[in-house]
A and B are shown apart, each in its own frame.
Chain A
Amino acid sequence: MEYALLQAVFLPLLLSPLAYIIGRKVGHTAATWFTFGLLLYCTILIITASIGGTYEEHYPWTELFGEFGFMLDGLAAPFAIMIYVLCTILALYSKPYMLHKFHEFFKEQAPKPVYQSDGTVLESVSLEKFVNRQSGVYYALFLVFSMGMLGTVLATNLIEFYIFFEVMLIPAFLLIGFWGDHPRRRVALMFFFWTHVGAVILLLGLLAIGLNVGSFDFADINETDIPPGILLAAAVAIIIGLGVKLAAFGFHIWLPYAHGSAPTPISALLSPAMIGIGAYALFRLIVEFLPQTYADLSIWISIWGVATMFYGGAMALMQDDIKRVFAYSSISQMGYLLFGIGSMSTLGLAGAEMMYISHALGKGLLFMTAGVLIVHVGARHLSKLGGLAGKMPITAVCAFIGALTIMGVPPTSGFMGEWMLFYGVLETALEEGDDLRTLLFALGLVATVLTMSYILWMFKRVFLGKIPENLSKVKDGSWYMLAPMMVLAGFTIVVGIYPDIFLQKIMPYMQGVLGG
Chain B
Amino acid sequence: MATEIIATEGDAMFAWLIWILPFVAALIIPAVAKVSKLSTGRVAIGFAAMSAISAAMLFPMALEGHEIHSQVDWISAIGLKAGVLADPLSIIMANVVGWISFLIICYSTGYMKGDKDIVRFWFWMMFFIGSMQLIVLSDNLLQLFFGWEGVGLASYALIAFWYRDKAKHHVGKEGRTVLGIMEYYSPTHSGMKAFIMTKVGDVMMLAGMFLIFAFAGTFGFKELLADTAWAVNMSAEGLLVPAVVLLFGGAIGKSAQFPLNEWLLEAMTGPTAVSALIHAATMVKAGVFLVARLGPLVFALGAAGILVDQFFEIIAWVGAFTALLLATQAMVNPEIKKVLAYSTGSQIGYMMMALGIAGLSEQFVDGYTAGFYHMISHAMFKASLFMAAGSLLHVVGSRFMTDMGGLRKKMRKTYAFMWAAGLGLMGAPFITTGFWSKDAIFAAVYESGNEWALPIFIIAVLTAAITAFYTTRMMGLVFFGKESKHIEKMESEGHHIHDAPRSMWIPYGILAVLTIGIGVIGFSAEGGIHELFTEYLDESFGIQTPHIDVEISGSLGFLSGLNPIAVGASLVAFAVGFGLGYIFYIGRWVDPVKFINSNIFFYALHKVILNRWYLNAMIYWGFVIAPLWAARAIWRYFEKTAIDTGMNTGLERSVRFGAKVVQGTQTGVAQSYLFVFGAGLLFVVLILLI
Contact = CB atoms under 8 A, between A and B. Distances in A.
A474 to B, nearest CB: 15
Given A423-B210, A460-B192, A504-B77, 6 more contacts: A410-B150, A419-B142, A422-B210, A430-B214, A460-B188, A464-B165
Interface residues of B, number: 45
Contact of A190 (B75, B165, B648): B648
A507 to B, nearest CB: 4
A449 B647 contact: no
B77 A422 contact: no
B145 interface: yes
B635 A464 contact: no
Contacts of A44: none
Nearest to B643: A253
22 contacts: A314-B627, A314-B630, A314-B635, A317-B628, A318-B631, A347-B78, A409-B153, A411-B150, A449-B199, A456-B192, A456-B196, A463-B163, A464-B164, A464-B165, A464-B188, A467-B164, A498-B74, A499-B77, A500-B74, A500-B75, A504-B76, A504-B77
B644 A253 contact: yes
B196 A466 contact: no
A499 B75 contact: yes
Judged by DSSP, the binding face of B is helix
A452 B197 CA distance: 10
A457 B156 CA distance: 13
A362 B615 CA distance: 35
Given A410-B146, A411-B150, A465-B186, A426 B77 contact: no
Interface size class of A (residues with CB under 8 A): 35 or more
B76 to A, nearest CB: 6
B211 interface: yes
B206 interface: yes
Interface string B629-641: 0111011000100
B42 to A, nearest CB: 23
A317 B77 contact: no
B210 A411 contact: no
Nearest to B30: A397
B218 to A, nearest CB: 13
A427 interface: yes
A427 B214 CA distance: 6
Contacts of B149: 409-410, 415
Contacts of B634: 311, 314-315
B619 to A, nearest CB: 13
Contact of B647 (A253, A311, A347, A445): A253
Interface string B166-201: 000000000000000000001011001001100110
A26 interface: no
B583 interface: no
A419 B153 CA distance: 17
A423 B76 CA distance: 17
Given A445-B207, A449-B203, A503-B78, A464 B631 contact: no
B160 interface: yes
A221 to B, nearest CB: 27
Nearest to A252: B643
A67 to B, nearest CB: 31
A311 B211 CA distance: 27
B213 interface: yes
A430 B207 CA distance: 12
Interface string A427-449: 10010000000000110011011
Given A253-B643, A410-B145, A426-B214, A466 B635 contact: no
A66 interface: no
A465 B163 contact: yes
Given A419-B142, A427-B214, A390 B153 contact: no
Interface of A: 190, 252-253, 311, 314-315, 317-318, 347, 387, 389-390, 404, 409-411, 415, 419-420, 422-423, 426-427, 430, 441-442, 445-446, 448-450, 452-453, 456-457, 460, 463-467, 498-500, 503-504, 506-507
A449 B200 contact: yes
Contact of A465 (B164, B214, B628): B164
A456 B195 contact: yes
Contacts of A442: 207
Contacts of B186: 465
A314 B631 contact: yes
A163 B210 CA distance: 42
Contact of A423 (B77, B213, B631): B213
B188 A465 contact: yes
Nearest to B234: A430
A402 to B, nearest CB: 14
B643 A507 contact: no
Contacts of A450: 627
A415 B199 CA distance: 13
B234 to A, nearest CB: 10
A245 to B, nearest CB: 16
Contacts of B203: 445-446, 448-449
A314 B630 CA distance: 9
Contacts of A449: 196, 199-200, 203
Interface string B673-689: 00000000000000000
Nearest to A433: B237
Contacts of A463: 163
A170 B635 CA distance: 31
A419 B210 CA distance: 9
B163 A387 contact: yes
Nearest to A453: B196
Contacts of A318: 631-632, 635
A464 B145 CA distance: 27
Nearest to A457: B192
Interface in B68-127: 74-78, 117
B391 to A, nearest CB: 27
Contacts of B76: 500, 504
Contacts of B74: 498, 500
A315 B160 CA distance: 26
Going nearest first, the 9 A-B pairs with the smallest beta carbon separation are A503-B77, A314-B631, A464-B188, A318-B635, A507-B77, A445-B203, A464-B163, A410-B146, A423-B210
Nearest to A460: B188
Contacts of B152: 409
B199 A315 contact: no
A314 B189 CA distance: 19
Contacts of A409: 149, 152-153
A452 B78 contact: no
Contacts of A452: 195-196, 199
A303 B118 CA distance: 47
A445 B208 CA distance: 12
Nearest to B146: A410
A446 B623 CA distance: 12
Given A317-B631, A410-B145, A390 B164 contact: yes
A466 B170 CA distance: 13
